[in-house]
């Protein structure tokens, strides 16, 4: 095609037809410009298509990570609720002046443990590297960082508080007054039940742990709402692409 244009241009120049040659040259330039614009448009289309594929991939991974974290949140909340029930049982034994029973072994063993949730956020780290600009939905662009940075940070603060309570207060007390059984790490027996069940320090400790676990239950329930909302919104966005 280029050779054809060159031969035609040369023939016109040889025929000494400058005006016709000029019109032809301008037409040739226009065609070249149009060709360049078309090539750029195709390239932009390909780049946009690649970006949308990457966006779908990152949104899918974000949703998966959020769903895994919700499972962790549910497991931790359920563990907290169990702990609260077992502490209530110990307190009831104390208030009622009841003697020792083997059913308390689980109550004594479980109260010093807590479920540390594992927050899955690898996809968000990837998104930060790629840049939020890859997300085309403005609502998602706003809500994704809020959940991963604010709400997940709230979980991390709660876990840190639990760790502090356990290692500074609960574990030293437990090591002094209890021993584990051979059945499970969640089962323990007091060294002296009769004195322990009336020990104000022990009852105060149970009260502190119970309050902390109730705080965790409330936090998990409240924060789960925006997480589930984000999962739903991401799913809606992905469905709209199919």
DSSP conformation letters of the chain: -HHHHHHHHHHHHHTT-HHHHHHHHHHHHHHHHHHHHHHHHHHHHHHHHHHHHHHHHHHHHHHHHHHHHHHHHHHHHHHHHHHHHHHHHHHHHHHHTPPP-TTHHHHHHHTT---------HHHHHHHHH-GGG---HHHHHHHHIIIIIIHHHHHHHHHHHHHHIIIIIHHHHHHHEEE-SS-TT-EEESSHHHHTT-HHHHHHHHHHHHHHHHHHHHHHHHHHHHHHHHHHHHHHHHHH-
Please state the rounded mean pLDDT for residues 200-210. Answer: 97
In the chain, where the domains are located = 61-241
* pLDDT of res. 16: 53
pLDDT digits over 223-236, tens only?
999 999 999 999 99
Per-residue pLDDT band for 209 (boundaries 50, 70, 90) equals very high
Mean pLDDT of the chain: 87
Asked if the model's pLDDT at residue 36 lies above 70, the reply is: yes
pLDDT at residue 32 tops 90: no
In the predicted structure, residue 80 carries a pLDDT above the cut 80 = yes
Say which residue, 242 or 114, is predicted with more confidence: 114
Among the listed residues 167, 180, 165, 169, the one whose alpha carbon sits nearest the alpha carbon of residue 215 = 165
pLDDT given for residue 8 in this prediction: 55
Does the structure show a pLDDT above 70 at 61?
yes
pLDDT per residue over 140-190, tens digit each?
999 999 999 999 999 999 999 999 999 999 999 999 999 998 888 899 999
pTM, to two decimals: 0.79
């Amino acid at each position: 095609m280029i050779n054809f244009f060159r031969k035609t241009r040369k023939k016109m120049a040889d025929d000494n037809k400058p005006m016709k040659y000029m019109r032809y040259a301008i037409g040739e330039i226009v065609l070249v410009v149009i060709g360049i614009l078309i090539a750029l448009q195709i390239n932009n289309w390909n780049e946009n298509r690649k970006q949308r594929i990457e966006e779908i991939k990152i949104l899918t991974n974000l949703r998966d990570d959020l769903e895994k974290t919700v499972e962790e949140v549910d497991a931790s909340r359920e563990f907290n609720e169990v702990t609260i029930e077992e502490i209530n049982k110990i307190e009831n034994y104390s208030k009622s002046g009841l003697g020792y029973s083997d059913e308390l072994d689980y109550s004594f063993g479980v109260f010093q443990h807590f479920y540390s949730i594992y927050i899955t956020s690898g996809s968000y780290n990837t998104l930060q590297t790629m840049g939020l600009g890859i997300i085309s939905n403005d609502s998602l662009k706003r809500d994704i960082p809020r959940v991963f940075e604010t709400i997940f940070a709230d979980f991390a603060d709660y876990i840190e508080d639990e760790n502090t309570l356990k290692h500074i207060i609960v574990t030293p007390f437990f090591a002094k007054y209890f021993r584990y059984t051979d059945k499970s790490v969640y089962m323990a027996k007091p060294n002296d039940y009769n004195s322990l069940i009336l020990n104000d320090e022990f009852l105060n400790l149970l009260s502190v742990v119970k309050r902390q676990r109730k705080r965790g239950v409330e936090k998990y329930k409240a924060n789960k709402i925006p997480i589930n909302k984000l999962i739903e919104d991401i799913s809606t966005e992905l469905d709209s692409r199919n």
